C-alpha cells in the first residue's frame, strides 16, 4: 500500500510514520508537509534514505502540489493542521485556511482519484464538559469554543459531506490530547519538561483547574491504524487515553518525577474562553474494533520526560530557532 501522510513532519504525523513503517515495512509513505513552525524533518532523519519513504515540501492548500502528491496513492491520512489554541486566538485566518480550505483541497484530490481518506480530528470540537458530565461520545453535538476547534469542526463536517455527497470512502478519528516524543515545546507537557530541564519556572493558566484526557501518541497511532484496517466507512471513532487529570495535578506530577518543588510553578493569566474539561468515551472503538489504550499516563509521562532529557539538542534547536533557519535554506 502507498500512503500519503499530510503534516508528517509534525509531532503526531512523524510518530505515525515511524509507527506505520515499523509495523508495515512493505508499505510506502509519502510525507507532504509545508514545514511551518511546528514541522521538523529531524523527527524523521533516520528514515531519510529509506526507499519506501519520500518527503515532499508542499502546502495542502496548493492544488497543484496536492495533485502531484496523490499520484498512485491508495490512502490519505490527514494530520496536517494548525493546532495551537493560543495561536488561533491571535491569528484565526491561518487556521481557517489550513484546516478548512486545505482539507477541501485534499478531499477534492481524493475524490478525483478515488482514494481512501482518513481524517484526524480532536476532542475540542465538542466544546467543554462540566466536572461531572459524561464523557464525549460519537453522538455528542459539536460546540467548538476557540477558532482552532471551530476550524477543525468545519473540516470534520466537510469530510462527512464528501462521504454523503460523493461516496468518498472516509473515516474520522477524534482523539484526546496527545503527548510523547517529538512534541513541539510550546505545548504544555514538553513546555513544562523543557523549562524544568533549564531550571525555569513552568507557566500555569489560572488556578490550573482545567482537566484534560491525555493519550500517548503510540496508543493514538495504533488506534488510527485499527480504524483504517477495521473501521466502517463513513464512521467516526473516538480515541481516549484514560488519562484525565487537571493541569495543576499534571504540573505537580511532572515536578515530582523531576525532583522539583512546587515553587517552580508560575501562575499566569488564564486563556480567553478556556474550556474546563475534555473526556473521551471510546466504547465504540473498543467494542467494534477491539482497540483500547495500553500506556498508563504515569508510565507515559516518565518515558516522555526521559526522552526530552536524552534529546536536549533536538528541543534546544527548536527553542533557539536554529532548525527553522536550516530547513528554510534547504527547502526554500
In CATH terms, the superfamily for domain 2-330 is: NAD(P)-binding Rossmann-like Domain (3.40.50.720)
- What gap in Å lies between CA 33 and CA 18, rounded to an integer? 16
Residues serving a catalytic function are 123-124, 148
Residue 322, pLDDT score: 58
Enumerate residues 6+ apart whose C-beta is below 8 A from 14. 8, 40, 43, 44, 182
Share of residues in the chain with pLDDT > 90 (%): 87
Q: Which residues pair with 122 in a beta bridge?
A: 175
What's residue 331's pLDDT?
A: 40
Could you give phi then psi for residue 91, rounded to 5 degrees?
-140, 80
Domain ranges across the chain: 2-330
- Lookup: cell for 226: 485499527
- Please give the pLDDT value at position 325: 53
Cell 499566569 sits on residue: 268
Q: Judge contact between 67 and 76, C-beta under 8 A.
A: no
Residues in the chain: 332
Distance, in Å, from the CA atom of 82 to the CA atom of 154, rounded to the nearest integer, reads: 13
pLDDT value at position 71? 96
DSSP 182-206: T--TTSHHHHHHHHHHTT--EEEET
Q: What's phi and psi for 20, nearest 5 deg?
A: -65, -45
Of residues 99, 35, 33, the one with CA closest to residue 66: 33
278 vs 214: CA distance, rounded Å: 9
Question: What are 68-80's pLDDT values in tens digits?
Answer: 999 999 999 999 9
What share of residues in the chain are helix, strand, coil (percent, to 5)? Answer: 45, 20, 35
Cα torsion angle, 118, 149, 41, 194, sign = negative
- Angstrom distance (rounded) from CA 188 to CA 247: 9
The one-digit pLDDT tens for each residue of the chain (332 residues) are 999 999 999 999 999 999 999 999 999 999 999 998 888 999 999 999 999 999 999 999 999 999 999 999 999 999 999 877 878 888 899 999 999 999 999 999 999 999 999 999 999 999 999 999 999 999 999 999 999 999 999 999 999 999 999 999 999 999 999 999 999 988 899 999 999 999 999 999 999 999 999 999 999 999 999 999 999 999 999 999 998 999 999 999 999 999 999 999 999 988 787 889 999 999 999 999 999 999 999 999 999 999 999 999 999 988 887 545 544 444 44
φ/ψ (deg, to 5) at 170: -125, 155
CB 93, CB 156: distance < 8 Å: no
Strand partners, 153: none
Amino acid at each position: 500500500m502507498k500512503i500519503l501522510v499530510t503534516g508528517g513532519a509534525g509531532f503526531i504525523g512523524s510518530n505515525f510514520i515511524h509507527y506505520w513503517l515499523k509495523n508495515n515495512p512493505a508499505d510506502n509513505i509519502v510525507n507532504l508537509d509545508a514545514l511551518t513552525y511546528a514541522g521538523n524533518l529531524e523527527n524523521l532523519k533516520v528514515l531519510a534514505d529509506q526507499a519506501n519513504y519520500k518527503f515532499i515540501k508542499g502546502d495542502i492548500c496548493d492544488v497543484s502540489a496536492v495533485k502531484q502528491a496523490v499520484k498512485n496513492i491508495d490512502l490519505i491520512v490527514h494530520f496536517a493542521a494548525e493546532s495551537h489554541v493560543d495561536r488561533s486566538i491571535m491569528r484565526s485566518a491561518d487556521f481557517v485556511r489550513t484546516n478548512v480550505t486545505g482539507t477541501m483541497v485534499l478531499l477534492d484530490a481524493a475524490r478525483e482519484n478515488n482514494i481512501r481518506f482518513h481524517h484526524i480530528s480532536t476532542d475540542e470540537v465538542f466544546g467543554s464538559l462540566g466536572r461531572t458530565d459524561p464523557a464525549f461520545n460519537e453522538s455528542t453535538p459539536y460546540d467548538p469554543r476557540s477558532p482552532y476547534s471551530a476550524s477543525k469542526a468545519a473540516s470534520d463536517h466537510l469530510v462527512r459531506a464528501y462521504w454523503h455527497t460523493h461516496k468518498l470512502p472516509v473515516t474520522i478519528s477524534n482523539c484526546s490530547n496527545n503527548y510523547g516524543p517529538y512534541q513541539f515545546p510550546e505545548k504544555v507537557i514538553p513546555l513544562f519538561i523543557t523549562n524544568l530541564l533549564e531550571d525555569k519556572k513552568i507557566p500555569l493558566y489560572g488556578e490550573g483547574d482545567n482537566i484534560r484526557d491525555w493519550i500517548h501518541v503510540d496508543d493514538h497511532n495504533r488506534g488510527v491504524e485499527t480504524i483504517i484496517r477495521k473501521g466502517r466507512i463513513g464512521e467516526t471513532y473516538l480515541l481516549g487515553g484514560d488519562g484525565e487529570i487537571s493541569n495543576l495535578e499534571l504540573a505537580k506530577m511532572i515536578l515530582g518525577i523531576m525532583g522539583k518543588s512546587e515553587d517552580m510553578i508560575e501562575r499566569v493569566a488564564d486563556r480567553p474562553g478556556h474550556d474546563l474539561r475534555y473526556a473521551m468515551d471510546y466504547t465504540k472503538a473498543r467494542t467494534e474494533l477491539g482497540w483500547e489504550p495500553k500506556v498508563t499516563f504515569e508510565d507515559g509521562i516518565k518515558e516522555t520526560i526521559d526522552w526530552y532529557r536524552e534529546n536536549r539538542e533536538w528541543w534546544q534547536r527548536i527553542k533557539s530557532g536554529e532548525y527553522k533557519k536550516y530547513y528554510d535554506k534547504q527547502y526554500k
